[in-house]
A and B are shown apart, each in its own frame.
Chain A
Amino acid sequence: EAQVTQNPRYLITVTGKKLTVTCSQNMNHEYMSWYRQDPGLGLRQIYYSMNVEVTDKGDVPEGYKVSRKEKRNFPLILESPSPNQTSLYFCASSLGGYNEKLFFGSGTQLSVL
């Protein structure tokens, strides 16, 4: 089944403890992206990647890192999480680019205490 898989689904952590949210797609998509969703603010893009080893900042990249060593994986890294990073996170991918149909993962609800 074609899908974008995110893990974990829920995560509670404490300020400053490094964490990684994994994202994997099995559709051989070129483009991958991370979004965060907050009430009243909609979805905002954190980072995106047009291809392997090519990543770029979105609208709200501060406090996040990403890597794209393989085409299928695009992990989101929070080196030192803070409470303002408590949010619902989504990974998405598309075949050719951001302006095509995006496939979303099921989301990761992160709480930073």
Chain B
Amino acid sequence: SQQGEEDPQALSIQEGENATMNCSYKTSINNLQWYRQNSGRGLVHLILIRSNEREKHSGRLRVTLDTSKKSSSLLITASRAADTASYFCATDPQETSGSRLTFGEGTQLTVNP
């Protein structure tokens, strides 16, 4: 199964509202990243948060990390229709062999105008 699992699978909100997406993972990590994907296109990096960090901000994005609960959240404030996309968390597990990130299946966010 995937290391990172996003919740909810789908989220529909109105423009101007805040959107919160969650990511849970199973094993200890070195860092966690969030990516955005517009339909069928390449992923775009949003934020990287390291295991010793609890919160990071970037513009309208706020990411938190709770290593005791093995979870992270991505908050998008004052959402816009252009924020409509899929959002993925990607974890860097401490115990994996090889060099890879493990991606979840994503949250599909729809922001209605």
Seen from chain A, the residues whose Cβ lies within 8 Å of a Cβ on chain B are 4, 31, 33, 35, 40-45, 48, 50, 56-59, 88, 90, 92, 97-107, 109
Contacts and interface: CB of A to CB of B under 8 A. Distances in A.
A98 B40 contact: no
Contacts of A102: 33, 35, 43, 45, 90, 101
What range describes how many residues of B lie at the interface?
20 to 34
Interface string B80-113: 0000000010101000001111011110000000
B10 interface: no
Contacts of A90: 42-43
Interface in B45-59: 45, 48
Nearest to B45: A101
Contacts of B41: 106-107
A47 B31 CA distance: 21
A108 to B, nearest CB: 10
B30 interface: yes
